[in-house]
Structure 1
Amino acid sequence: MGPLGGITILDLTTVLMGPYATQILADMGANVVKVESPEGDIIRHIGPGRSPGMGGMFLNANRGKRSIVINMKKPEGREALLRLARQSNAIVYNVRPQAMARLGLEYETFAAINPKIVYVGVFGYGQSGPYAARPAYDDLIQGASTIPSLVAAAGDGTPRYVPITMADRVVGLMAVNAILGGLMHQLRTGIGQRIDVPMFESMTDFVLVDHLGGLTYDPPLDQGGYARLLSKYRRPYMTSDGYICVLIYNDKQWRSFFESIGQPEYLLQPRFANHAARHKHIDEIYEEVGRIFISRTTSEWRDLLERADIPVMPMHTLETIMDDPHLNAVGFFKTIDHPVEGRIRQMQVPSNWSITQPQAGGPAPTLGEHGREILREGGFSAEEIEGLGQRGAVVFTGPQ
């Protein structure tokens, strides 16, 4: 069952941020009902796939869920959703609140029929500021929360986005925290609430924990920014035959490093005296250490650094990470049979629990795959279900 067994989540989210959050809840055992429009979640069509609407990115953000297609623009569709909400613990959406209001799906509507409902919105901006009604995407939020400017400062001066949907994933994790907090309050009091998780504010908090620095103080002590993270030499070290990822951080590690390479005289230099001194000279230190790493092969460095107990990891590519011996030993990747897509690779839940171990749920659903099943569980009669289908309020696919 998992730790969230018995909890029902109505998932109105699309793309990545919301689906990533609700997939984590599904892994924990929640009954996640993915409510899709007749067109389906747009991410179904991103990336390679063996059949239409089942792209790899969709498979990796929607496992363990059941799908129902409800046309919310039809009054009967909206009423069907509200009826399902009566038996749900939480509803999660990631369109702008103004769009939910236009559909008559604001918090007050759900609270009137289910006072226990935890109503969670994951969208661009807090609703008390001037950006409230603006659309938001990962690239926009990365830019607004200073990430490209930090990349520019640490590199060649060109601002770039991080090549993962970082804002979507980070805010998705924050949404999981918010949902679980709301459910805990619901369990203690029997009362629901509205929870907003805005991307801009969430990512600004995430970034500035590292980089607010001297701007923490009034008046400021500096212009902000964590010098070690912003060093243009903070990158995988080039070896004589490739690259390697190393972090020599504390006094013990620096001592072990220079002793292991037979150059303990470096430790006599004032810039290596302590953490504060190294931080002050971080650019020149990283640059000089980079020159040292070119002198040996990647394999030689891994052997030396592991013996010296200095943190080291390979610089994987998307191909080589599939063969990582640690990930293989812990069973991180698992090949399963998807009923539509055939053999697919699936990542496992990365945390370990002594009793209620979460598990990667069943395969990601085809569009509307579980419509009739979900409605039957919601108390709809066979006649009502067929009527919804005939009026186009709910779209059914495949035999059910």
Structure 2
Amino acid sequence: MQRPLENIRVLDFTRVLAGPYCTMLLADMGAEVIKIERPGEGDDTRQFGPFQNGESGYFVYLNRGKKSMALDLKNPHAIAAIKELVKESDVVIENFRPGVMKKLGLDYESLKELNPSLIYTSISGFGQYGPYSQRPAYDLVAQAMGGLTSITGHPEGPPTRSGASLGDMSAALYAVYGIMVALFHRERTGEGQYIDIAMTDSIIALLENNVMRYTVDNIVPVRIGSRHPISSPFDIYQAQDGYVVIAVANDSLFKKLVSVMKQPELAEDKRFHLDPLRTENETELKAIIEAWLSGYTVDEAVEIISEGGVPSSPILTIEDVCKDEHTKARNMLIEVDHPVAGSMRIPGNPVKLSQTPPIIREASPALGEHTAQVLTDVLNWDSKKLKALEEQEV
């Protein structure tokens, strides 16, 4: 089976999370991803825990299926070698602060002269232009500046970061989307192009109806805990031995819920018979639901509510998720064999394609493991030329 991105070569100058997650997804689909790392140190995440036999699980997960070249980007001979590789590549991706690649002579304007069909992607905190473009950023900054933090948490508490790095991960996904669109455009026209991805932009794009509530109704969304701002009951509720999620987003589902609660009269109650009224009287409705739930365990309540056709679930811990039969059935926890770490379980790929599914064949590379191989296979350099690079401390 030919993999979807087979014969697509990606030069990957990224590190930590957003960029490596993007290129990992490309590698899963068959792209040849050549990761350029600092000699002696490599990607920062090589030093991030947890560790297994001295190898970072963080790095193994994010860099599966890639090749590693260790090159000193401050060395002009390394830059010359990279420019030769650019001529033989399809995609370049980097997540330095804006301006760094230009100083190195590796910006899009310089490289497209060498390869006009090149697709060049930059991921940064605030993008390549705008008043904040030169500000440094991590995920926490992107979540805060994108508005997500202001609506996360409970009203009586402080603003809260999301439990996962959504700024990084959303930027990675939008970068993959941009690269796929650009590859399709190039297939039709032969033209390469530049892709500018900002973490803050990505967060804003995830805010969905929160933005429209302000632009249309001039309402500034605030922290409201786990409940939904415009639908009820849509929240986390207390049962006998823990918490139950109930998600009702229309009047039909509410009738189903009160039916399984054996309180069908609530569907005609003037406080609750329409969704906006239920949201307006959410506190009273939550008390009624939790009074009913007090007679059931979490498992009992979820079974009753779900069988009634209403979206409901327990709140699983990460341990629960990893052991869950559905996670196993969906192949969302896979094993990779690393030459040093040994067998390690990492998250799988959520994109399920019927004809060209993602294939994860290899674990992450050792630092510089493929430097000589890439220069030999891609550029046809001989041992004499490789020896010269070593002598030049490239």
Q: Deviations over 1:162-208 (max 9, x none)?
A: 1211100011101111111111122211121211111222212222x
Partner of 2:210: 211
Partner of 1:222: 219
Distance 1:179 1:284 in 2: 49
Are the aligned partners of 2:151 and 2:223 in contact in 1 as well (CA < 8 Å)? Answer: no
Q: The residue matched to 2:161 in structure 1 has which SS? A: coil
Give the CA RMSD over aligned residues. Answer: 2.1
- Go from structure 1 to structure 2 and tell me whether the alpha carbon gap of 1:234 and 1:258 turns closer, same or farther (over 3 Å shift): closer
Distance 1:45 1:233 in 2: 44
Q: How many angstroms does 1:83 deviate by?
A: 0.8
Partner of 2:267: 267
Are the aligned partners of 2:233 and 2:248 in contact in 1 as well (CA < 8 Å)? Answer: no
Distance 2:144 2:247 in 1: 28
Tell me whether 1:40 sits opposite 2:12 in the alignment. Answer: no
Partner of 1:323: 323
Farther off after superposition, 288-297 or 168-177: 288-297
Tell me whether 1:50 sits opposite 2:34 in the alignment. Answer: no
Partner of 1:373: 373
- Ranges in structure 2 where 5+ consecutive residues have no aligned partner: none
The percentage of aligned residue pairs carrying the same residue is 32
Farther off after superposition, 322-331 or 36-45: 322-331
Q: Deviations over 1:190-234 (max 9, x none)?
A: 121211111222212222x220133223xx543356975359996
Are the aligned partners of 1:97 and 1:106 in contact in 2 as well (CA < 8 Å)? Answer: no
Tell me whether 1:360 sits opposite 2:360 in the alignment. Answer: yes
Are the aligned partners of 1:213 and 1:225 in contact in 2 as well (CA < 8 Å)? Answer: no
Farther off after superposition, 84-93 or 289-298: 289-298
Are the aligned partners of 1:347 and 1:360 in contact in 2 as well (CA < 8 Å)? Answer: no
Partner of 1:396: none
Are the aligned partners of 1:26 and 1:361 in contact in 2 as well (CA < 8 Å)? Answer: no
Q: How many angstroms does 1:285 deviate by?
A: 2.7
Amino acid at match of 1:199: M
Distance 2:329 2:94 in 1: 37
Q: How many angstroms does 1:91 deviate by?
A: 0.1
Are the aligned partners of 2:234 and 2:247 in contact in 1 as well (CA < 8 Å)? Answer: no
Q: How many angstroms does 1:104 deviate by?
A: 1.4
- Go from structure 1 to structure 2 and tell me whether the alpha carbon gap of 1:163 and 1:306 turns closer, same or farther (over 3 Å shift): closer
Are the aligned partners of 1:36 and 1:69 in contact in 2 as well (CA < 8 Å)? Answer: yes
Partner of 1:133: 134
- Ranges in structure 1 where 5+ consecutive residues have no aligned partner: 394-400
Tell me whether 1:109 sits opposite 2:110 in the alignment. Answer: yes
Q: The residue matched to 2:69 in structure 1 has which SS? A: strand
Farther off after superposition, 31-40 or 43-52: 43-52
Distance 1:270 1:29 in 2: 58
Write out aligned runs for 1:60-209 (5 A). 60-152=61-153, 154-207=154-207, 209=208
Q: Deviations over 1:320-365 (max 9, x none)?
A: 1121121122332223322221111132222221211122241011
Q: The residue matched to 2:21 in structure 1 has which SS? A: helix
